[in-house]
Amino acid sequence: MQLGLVYGIYVVNDLYANHLGFMRNTSFFSEEFAQSWLGRYLVVLPIVMLLLSIFLVWRERTKERYLLLIIAAIWLSWLYSASLQLVPIYYLVVAIIFVILLLQLLLIGLVGRKNRG
């Protein structure tokens, strides 16, 4: 499912490049989101996810937790290196990566529960 979401980034990029209506809606909502309070404080979310993943790896070293740490670090670095001016689908990519991180957290919870029970 996570790989499907990564592929979804390319699909959304293709939609943006080839469909004028999608391009207009994406541009409008991206500008609106950038002006909202959540858009201004969006940088806090990857930092929290990175700290949470470091804590989880520190508690128990499993490959799922290391993968969460890697994804969170990539997300944080991408968030600081890209911008809405460089990547028109910036907030869509941010949302897709956030969903990938949530799925990884769910996977960690399921694997942890299976190992305990």
What is the arithmetic mean of pLDDT over 1-11?
A: 87
Q: Is the per-residue pLDDT at 51 higher than 90?
A: yes
3-state secondary structure 9-46: HHHHHHHHHHCHHHHHHHHHHHHHHHHCHHHHCCCHHH
From CA 74, how far away is CA 33, in angstroms rounded? 22
3-state secondary structure of 16: helix
* Mean pLDDT, rounded, for 1-5: 86
Around Cβ 23, how many Cβ atoms within 10 Å?
15
Provide, rounded to the nearest whole percent, the portion of the chain with pLDDT above 90: 16
How far is 90 from 84, CA to CA, in rounded Å?
5
pLDDT in tens, 55-93: 999 998 889 889 989 999 988 898 888 887 888 888 888
Whole domain around residue 31: which residue ranges? Answer: 2-116
Residue 28's pLDDT is 87
Task: Report the share of the chain in percent with pLDDT over 70.
Answer: 98
Site of tokens 């949302």: 95
pTM above the 0.85 mark? no
Residue 72: alpha-carbon gap to chain centroid: 8
> What are the Cα distances from residue 36, in Å, to 29, 32, 40, 44, 45?
10, 7, 6, 14, 15
The Cα–Cα gap between 57 and 101 comes to: 15
- Confirm if 50 and 74 have CB atoms less than 8 A apart: no
Structural domain count of the chain:
1
Residue 117 confidence (pLDDT) above 70: no
